[in-house]
Structure 1
């Protein structure tokens, strides 16, 4: 069956600076720049700093000249990582398929979910959950492919959202400048402008052959992009610091004895992997997806262990708290995280 693709792109606004403001509310409303004051470059800055013309990758010295009253911070990368994992876990618990493109950027493939939910409403609710739980501002775009979703997010910022309906891609793109296409760098933009091509509509009118003459094989690809055509898939995300196993049941699982046996099987499988890697776990999660794609998960922390007989009862208890009794199950998953190979941890 062929579905219309539905892709969401989430981007945490001014992520590093937002974490700094969240952890120190006195910084709110002030220009915050993450990066060295005298040397180095700007790693991130908030919207208050951008009003002075400051942007990422700008030499810190220049940023200081533009905004002498700016708050320059070295950056707390442990905190950025913690908040990034927090948002990742919220998305992982809800989304059928997602890609973590960077520490602050995610693509979600919601194709086929429109049979069960309104994808825009679902995405709005996920955004609200992220904001409420973490306190971080986050924007999203919803569109027919990754490129269009990212461009929608860029227009939705700061802290907003935008949907580009199917079939309206060219209407959205036409008036935008050529430099707004992801992947078009300064050099390419200058070449296009020297050809008299300023807007994406200009690009489209120029045609693939003209663009190929000046830009080589990049030209025809750019012409396709000018029509909102982009085929790159959402690549499934794999958390490097966790081990998980899940199974999708085509006919849905309903028999309680079978479901209990599956929980044990999945848990034994990942406990074996854990011991092969000579690791122990401190966090266990169970995930259930129902036939209507509603996905729910629950996790708990435990004393560090790799023993089946300590982990299996916790998995069963989590499942009992989570499961809507009698409801068929589409997918069942178990995940072990907070892994460490520090043997001392097992005795704490």
Structure 2
């Protein structure tokens, strides 16, 4: 049975949310991110992209390329809420959905063509999102996740593209290898030096040569160049969480020490989050009292992987959950609603400095081990 995978992706998502809020921005070059010279572009409108502006570019360079652009600091809370709006609409109307990032989803409609014309259903679903949220969205429909995502990228903005199995190779062959999802800049340069710039050329390479040059990743890229991708759509309700808990040697009411412990615990799982290139949108804190009663409190937050944001929310939840003033036996923290992505810096007031700090600490951990560095406030925990 031929798989039918829909990839739905918002068009310039952060900018679209700002345009929904202020329609006067429509059609203008808009840049989301830090407004200072030290800032970084998080997103930009298609009008700004025509001037060479792109995400991760320094704000200073963006201003040089497009001095008449409208710069907006951005609000991750609003973007996260809009993301949840879209997910809620989609997950109620499809059999299997994966939230791949804050602004994109994969939908597996395999076998549903017995009941629906998948191409027409995807068109109607896209229209539903646009009508109910006022946010533009594009989709690609094809036989696997890789090709459907590439279809979306080719038809954006505000587009639809359906590539069936017989058309896959003809669709892929003339495209640049840069179009392959997951192919980074270093790999692109290495392949370009070998004279491999088009997907067709890459698809003709011998597996042994690709393995020699790029290892297992080379074999994966070769498969993608041939339009082969067996990776499944991971059900939304099975999105994994990460967490940790600690049982104290003796029951305690030492709130200060518990807060220090929470800080240490959150830093550990936030580091794990960043290593997996994930963002979390929900924090849960659990307290077990000495009578073995468990009390849990959770909160939805803007997507993030920053220590400072997660620590602050965990401590706030602990204050809310610890109401009985009884001895505590255990405390736990869990991050959930995970999606793939990197921290959108400059969307929090302190994020530029905090992101730099996280990067520096992560490099030390990667070199010397996860316990090589911690905040001074977490030291000498005697629980």
How many residues are paired up?
250
Match in the other structure for 2:179 = 180
Q: Report the Cα distance in structure 2 between the residues aligned to 1:97 and 1:239, rounded to whole angstroms.
A: 11
State the Cα deviation string for residues 20-53 of structure 1 (Å, max 9, x = none). Answer: 0110011111111000122221000010110110
- Native 8 Å contact 1:37 1:64 kept in 2: no
Match in the other structure for 1:226 = 225
Q: Report the Cα distance in structure 1 between the residues aligned to 2:82 and 2:40, rounded to whole angstroms.
A: 23
Q: Report the Cα distance in structure 2 between the residues aligned to 1:170 and 1:280, rounded to whole angstroms.
A: 47
CA RMSD of aligned residues (A): 2.3
Q: Report the Cα distance in structure 1 between the residues aligned to 2:78 and 2:238, rounded to whole angstroms.
A: 18
Q: 1:162 to 1:277 in 2, by over 3 A?
A: farther
Match in the other structure for 2:59 = 60
Match in the other structure for 1:96 = 95
Match in the other structure for 2:157 = 158
Q: Report the Cα distance in structure 2 between the residues aligned to 1:226 and 1:31, rounded to whole angstroms.
A: 34
State the Cα deviation string for residues 179-233 of structure 1 (Å, max 9, x = none). Answer: 1111111111111111111111101122212222221222222211111001111
Output aligned runs, 1:184-199, within 5 Å: 184-199=183-198
Q: Report the Cα distance in structure 2 between the residues aligned to 1:46 and 1:226, rounded to whole angstroms.
A: 29
Match in the other structure for 2:41 = 42
CA offset at residue 238 of structure 1? Answer: 2.9
Gaps of 5+ in 1: 241-274, 282-340, 344-348
Which of 14, 21, 24 is 1:23 aligned to? 21
Match in the other structure for 1:284 = none
State the Cα deviation string for residues 252-306 of structure 1 (Å, max 9, x = none). Answer: xxxxxxxxxxxxxxxxxxxxxxx9765699xxxxxxxxxxxxxxxxxxxxxxxxx
- Native 8 Å contact 1:35 1:72 kept in 2: yes
State the Cα deviation string for residues 89-135 of structure 1 (Å, max 9, x = none). Answer: 10011011101111101000111101111000000000000011111
Output aligned runs, 1:114-133, within 5 Å: 114-133=113-132
Give SS of 1:169's match. Answer: helix
Output aligned runs, 1:259-278, within 5 Å: 278=296
Match in the other structure for 1:74 = 73
The TM-score, its normalising length taken from structure 1, stands at 0.68
Q: 1:198 to 1:93 in 2, by over 3 A?
A: same
Q: Report the Cα distance in structure 2 between the residues aligned to 1:239 and 1:4, rounded to whole angstroms.
A: 24
Q: 1:78 to 1:239 in 2, by over 3 A?
A: farther
- Native 8 Å contact 1:152 1:163 kept in 2: yes
Q: Report the Cα distance in structure 2 between the residues aligned to 1:196 and 1:280, rounded to whole angstroms.
A: 53
The TM-score, its normalising length taken from structure 2, stands at 0.62
Q: Report the Cα distance in structure 1 between the residues aligned to 2:232 and 2:152, rounded to whole angstroms.
A: 18
Q: 1:13 to 1:280 in 2, by over 3 A?
A: closer
Q: Report the Cα distance in structure 1 between the residues aligned to 2:52 and 2:151, rounded to whole angstroms.
A: 23
State the Cα deviation string for residues 292-348 of structure 1 (Å, max 9, x = none). Answer: xxxxxxxxxxxxxxxxxxxxxxxxxxxxxxxxxxxxxxxxxxxxxxxxx979xxxxx
Q: Report the Cα distance in structure 2 between the residues aligned to 1:108 and 1:115, rounded to whole angstroms.
A: 16
Q: Report the Cα distance in structure 1 between the residues aligned to 2:174 and 2:190, rounded to whole angstroms.
A: 19
Gaps of 5+ in 2: 240-292, 300-318, 322-383
Q: Report the Cα distance in structure 2 between the residues aligned to 1:278 and 1:33, rounded to whole angstroms.
A: 40
State the Cα deviation string for residues 43-93 of structure 1 (Å, max 9, x = none). Answer: 000101101100011011110111111111110112111111111110011
- Native 8 Å contact 1:87 1:130 kept in 2: yes
Shifted more, 107-116 versus 165-174: the winner is 165-174
Runs of 4+ aligned residues of structure 1 deviating over 2 Å after TM superposition are: 275-281
Match in the other structure for 1:208 = 207
